[in-house]
């Protein structure tokens, strides 16, 4: 019912002038309230429109920034790949000539000269390994993924057999508990993740106890989570937050370039998963990672 109709009805039904005036005053107050509310409503609708326009623009800006960032990341990645690849040729030349020099100088050279030559050869080898790791990292974080459906137990068994020599040499026991499950992934890259984590577990063993590695997995909704647990030297607390960074090593007396975990992280994240660790110094380390099923 309209307020005017209400006023009309009241004036016909209320006989007392005072009561009628009171009722009409109340109706006027309601009319004023309604005016204020509709004004506020109008303002709110306008504000909402402006906010939603602003939000749409912000989302578009963010999408553009995101795209620019990923373009420039991709470009940077390609430069790194080209630079690392092209540096390998001159390095091979230096290494080749250093080897030739080493052969021809064996008799005539002094001890110090042979030592200098050995430094050159060792540095060439280290630099070659670093370039290989940089190439691998740039292809893990960029480049195309060749997704296939694979049986994960086959892939893990293949990794163990590739590391057979090191496993026997270190007398490492490996226990598995992995269900036969198929996953969609780039098998070459995921194999590299398992190889990196297994070889770390075999490398950083505590000399005071026989090395044991437990490999487990469990399914959680759309994800499958793997864990690789060792009873090795562990990683000091202060190094744990940065352990996945490139070229990061706790103890440089062990072989390696410090790129293995950075490659693992880049690969797992490109597959939509995540990787993390738990470690107690002198007790052991467990690396966890997830993959989409
Ligand atoms: P690379 O893998 O490039 O040959 P790396 O093994 O030294 O060299 P990462 O695999 O990236 O490099 O590991 C980085 C560092 O983290 C290692 O140098 C080591 O200090 C520590 N670390 C990794 N895994 C373990 C582990 N299972 N137990 C103890 N320390 C570990
Ligand atoms: Mg490693």
Question: Could you name the CATH architecture of 148-292?
Answer: 2-Layer Sandwich (3.30)
Q: How far apart are CA 253 and CA 230, in angstroms?
A: 20
What Å distances lie between residue 178 and 33, 137, 195, 228, CA to CA? 69, 27, 16, 11
Give the single-character DSSP code of 289. E
What Å distances lie between residue 58 and 45, 63, 139, 170, CA to CA? 20, 8, 32, 57
| pLDDT, block means (10 residues), the chain with 293 residues | 79 83 88 93 95 95 91 84 90 94 86 92 92 87 86 93 93 91 92 95 94 93 93 96 94 91 94 96 97 89
Q: Which ligand is nearest to the CA of 263?
A: 1
Mean pLDDT of the chain: 91
Cβ of 213 closer than 6 Å to ligand 1, yes or no, is no
Which atom of ligand 1 is found nearest the CA of 261? 11
Residue 222 alpha carbon to ligand 1 centre in Å:
29
pTM recorded for the entire structure: 0.74
Cβ of 251 closer than 6 Å to ligand 1, yes or no, is yes
State pLDDT tens for residues 203-233: 999 989 999 999 999 988 889 999 999 999 9
Closest residue by Cα to residue 217 from 207, 208, 227:
227
Cβ of 197 closer than 6 Å to ligand 1, yes or no, is no
Residue 163 alpha carbon to ligand 1 centre in Å:
16
Own/partner pairs, 245-249, CB within 8 angstroms, 24+ separation: 246/137, 247/130
């Amino acid at each position: 019912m309209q307020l005017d109709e209400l006023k009309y009805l009241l004036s016909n039904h209320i006989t007392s002038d005072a009561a009628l005036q009171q009722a009409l005053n109340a109706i006027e107050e309601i009319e004023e309230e309604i005016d204020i509310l509709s004004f506020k409503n109008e303002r709110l609708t306008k504000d909402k429109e402006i906010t939603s326009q602003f939000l749409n623009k912000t989302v578009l800006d963010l999408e553009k920034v995101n795209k620019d960032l990923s373009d420039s990341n991709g470009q940077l990645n390609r430069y790194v790949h080209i630079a690392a690849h092209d540096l390998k040729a001159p390095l091979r030349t230096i290494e080749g000539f250093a080897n030739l020099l080493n052969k021809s100088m064996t008799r005539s050279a002094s001890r110090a000269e042979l030592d200098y030559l050995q430094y050159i050869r060792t540095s060439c080898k280290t630099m070659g390994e670093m370039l290989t790791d940089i190439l691998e990292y740039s292809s893990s974080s960029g480049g195309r993924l060749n997704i296939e459906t694979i049986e994960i137990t086959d892939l893990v068994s293949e990794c163990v057999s590739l590391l057979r020599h090191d496993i026997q040499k270190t007398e490492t026991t490996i226990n598995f508990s992995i269900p036969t499950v198929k996953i969609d992934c780039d098998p070459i890259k995921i194999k590299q993740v398992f190889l990196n984590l297994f070889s770390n577990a075999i490398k950083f063993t505590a000399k005071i106890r026989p090395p044991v590695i437990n490999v487990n997995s469990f399914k959680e909704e759309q994800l499958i989570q793997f864990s690789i647990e060792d009873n090795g030297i562990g990683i000091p607390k202060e190094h744990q937050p940065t352990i996945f960074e490139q070229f990061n090593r706790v103890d440089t007396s062990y072989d390696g370039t410090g790129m293995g975990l950075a490659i693992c992280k880049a690969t797992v994240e490109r597959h939509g998963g995540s990787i993390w660790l738990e470690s107690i110094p002198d007790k052991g380390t467990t690396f966890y990672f997830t993959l989409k099923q």
